[in-house]
Amino acid sequence: MLRLFVGIPMPEAVVERLSSLAHGLPGARWVPPENYHLTLRFLGEIDEGTAHDVDEALDLVTGPSFPLTLSGLGSFGSGHKQHALWAGLVDSDPLLHLQAKVESALVRSGQPPEQRKYSPHVTLAYLTDTPPAKLANYMGANGLFQAGPFTVDRYCLYESVLGKSGATYHILQEYPLGGWGV
């Protein structure tokens, strides 16, 4: 079985900017810079035959390249239990368009439809028992973060290998954008 997701890698200059944020927050387990990505769709554990179908479906998704800008920081969780820190994005219709095309291609290939609303973000850290006041201080110091714009000219099928010290991601396939498809 393969644990797969579809995502967009960050260019090196953006990786550098994001990694400059990775300090000064108690209870944060920082994502290794080589793992920064924007998830389009989490697939979960699938067998090799199904992975082949997924790859064939994604191969048919075409579209233009587009600019993307990271902007602001946020966290997932409720109240005192925030569990992830992330960088947000300037609203991007081309990104939502790509995500919708990926989603419908995956459903056509037999994947169950995604139930959760798409909430684009780049995860920076997983949080455990981070004191709310420390998170507020961190947001105060870093919340105006901006990076880009950069050009999204491909998206990727990733394998996530879970290990004792966190996940390692491997790009299995790249799907170029920027052709004539819309």
* Residues annotated catalytic, as ranges: 37, 121
Q: Kindly identify the residues of this chain, within the stretch 94-153, that bind ligand 3AM according to CB under 6 A.
A: 123
Residue type, 67: P
Q: To the nearest 10°, the Cα dihedral for 153, 42, 86, 21? A: -60
Interface mask (CB under 6 A) for ligand 3AM, residues 34-63, using x and -?
-----x--x-x-------------------
The set of residues, in sequence order, having a beta carbon less than 8 Å from that of 163 and lying 6+ positions away, is none
Which C-beta is closer to ligand 3AM: that of 42 or that of 150?
A: 42
Tokens of 22: 């990775």
For residue 44, the minimal CB distance to ligand 3AM (Å) is 6
Cβ atoms 34, 16 nearer than 8 A: no
Total number of residues that touch ligand 3AM (CB under 6 A): 6
Using DSSP bridges, classify how beta strands 37-46 and 166-176 pair: parallel, antiparallel or unpaired.
unpaired
For residue 180, the minimal CB distance to ligand 3AM (Å) is 29
Which C-beta is closer to ligand 3AM: that of 174 or that of 181?
A: 174
For residue 103, the minimal CB distance to ligand 3AM (Å) is 13
Tokens of 181: 């498809």
Give the residue among 5, 19, 8 at the shortest CA–CA distance from 121.
8
Cβ atoms 138, 17 nearer than 8 A: no
Which C-beta is closer to ligand 3AM: that of 62 or that of 173?
A: 173
For residue 158, the minimal CB distance to ligand 3AM (Å) is 7
The reply on whether position 5 binds ligand 3AM by CB under 6 A is yes
Angle among Cα 66, 67, 72 to the nearest 5 degrees reads 140
Residues in the site for ligand 3AM, rule: CB under 6 A? 5, 39, 42, 44, 123, 160
